[in-house]
Chains A and B, each alone.
Chain A
Amino acid sequence: NAGVTQTPKFRILKIGQSMTLQCTQDMNHNYMYWYRQDPGMGLKLIYYSVGAGITDKGEVPNGYNVSRSTTEDFPLRLELAAPSQTSVYFCASSWVDEQYFGPGTRLTVT
Chain B
Amino acid sequence: KNQVEQSPQSLIILEGKNCTLQCNYTVSPFSNLRWYKQDTGRGPVSLTIMTFSENTKSNGRYTATLDADTKQSSLHITASQLSDSASYICVVIRSNFGNEKLTFGTGTRLTIIP
Contact = CB atoms under 8 A, between A and B. Distances in A.
Contact of B43 (A4, A41, A42, A44): A4
Interface size class of B (residues with CB under 8 A): 10 to 19
Contacts of B44: 43, 90, 101
Contacts of A41: 106
B45 A101 contact: yes
Contacts of B105: 42
B22 interface: no
B2 to A, nearest CB: 10
Contact of B41 (A100, A101, A104): A104
B106 A42 contact: yes
B41 A45 contact: no
B89 A92 contact: no
Contacts of B4: 42
B104 A42 contact: yes
Contacts of A40: 106
A103 B89 contact: no
B103 interface: yes
B46 A98 contact: yes
B22 to A, nearest CB: 15
Contacts of B107: 42
Interface of A: 4, 40-45, 90, 92, 97-104
10 contacts: A42-B103, A42-B104, A42-B105, A44-B104, A92-B43, A98-B46, A99-B102, A100-B46, A103-B41, A104-B42
